[in-house]
Amino acid sequence: MRAKLLGIGLGMAVVLWSAAWAQGPLTSSQVERFVRSYEELKPVFDAMEGEGSPEEESPAALAAQWGKAVMRDAKAQAVLAKNGLDAASWADLASRVMSTYMVLKMSEGGDSPLVQLRQSLAELEKDTSIPASMKPEMVANLRQSIAQYETMEKNVSDQDKAAVRPLLPRLDAVLEWTDQ
């Protein structure tokens, strides 16, 4: 699951960000409503795993997929309504919370993810064991991941981090995060 979440984090799309971040920083109340809703909706999302992942692995794309699932399920819509949300507002909130969560989780344990990514890029560029036909694509993909993570990190405010940080243990549990 960690690899999947890291992939989602590194594949960050800016699709929902501009509107979501224009609304101001996340509040602890918003994050709590997201977590409560997600805890109740988890069986719906678990059932979606058979449908495959979104083409683009990012919190925004995943949140959009979740929003579509909620639109097809009357019980899911009732869960959101109970928490003061609808499918559109929940998808925006999910994107913001998941992006912030990813930045916090990827920054745990020392080195910045950007330091690690740049180090991996330098090692990849020097690696002579990789076939020349494969290396340009691999380098391009890693450079894109670096750029996307820089954008994600830049768009997550200190206020958003402060709102999400107290709920990290609950998010870890519901998202089944493992440090492996």
> Tens digits of per-residue pLDDT, 92-131?
898 899 889 988 988 887 667 788 888 888 998 999 998 9
pLDDT(166) > 90: yes
Number of domains in the chain: 1
pLDDT band, very low/low/confident/very high, at 13 (cuts 50, 70, 90): very low
In-domain check, residue 119: no
Q: How far is CA 49 from the centre of its chain?
A: 16
In-domain check, residue 11: yes
In-domain check, residue 116: no
State the pLDDT at residue 53. Answer: 53
Structure tokens at 91: 């998808």
State the pLDDT at residue 167. Answer: 94
In-domain check, residue 163: yes
In-domain check, residue 139: no
Rounded to an integer, the average pLDDT of 71-83 is: 84
In-domain check, residue 165: yes
Does the predicted model carry a pTM greater than 0.85?
no
Domain that holds residue 32: 2-109+156-175
State the pLDDT at residue 15. Answer: 36
In-domain check, residue 168: yes
In-domain check, residue 50: yes
Closest of 174, 178, 177, 179 to residue 44, by C-alpha? 174
Q: Which residues lie below 8 Å from residue 96, measured CB to CB, with a gap of 6+?
A: 20, 21, 26, 160
Rounded to an integer, the average pLDDT of 13-25 is: 49
- Considering only 42-46, 140-144, 165-169, which range has the smallest mean pLDDT? 42-46
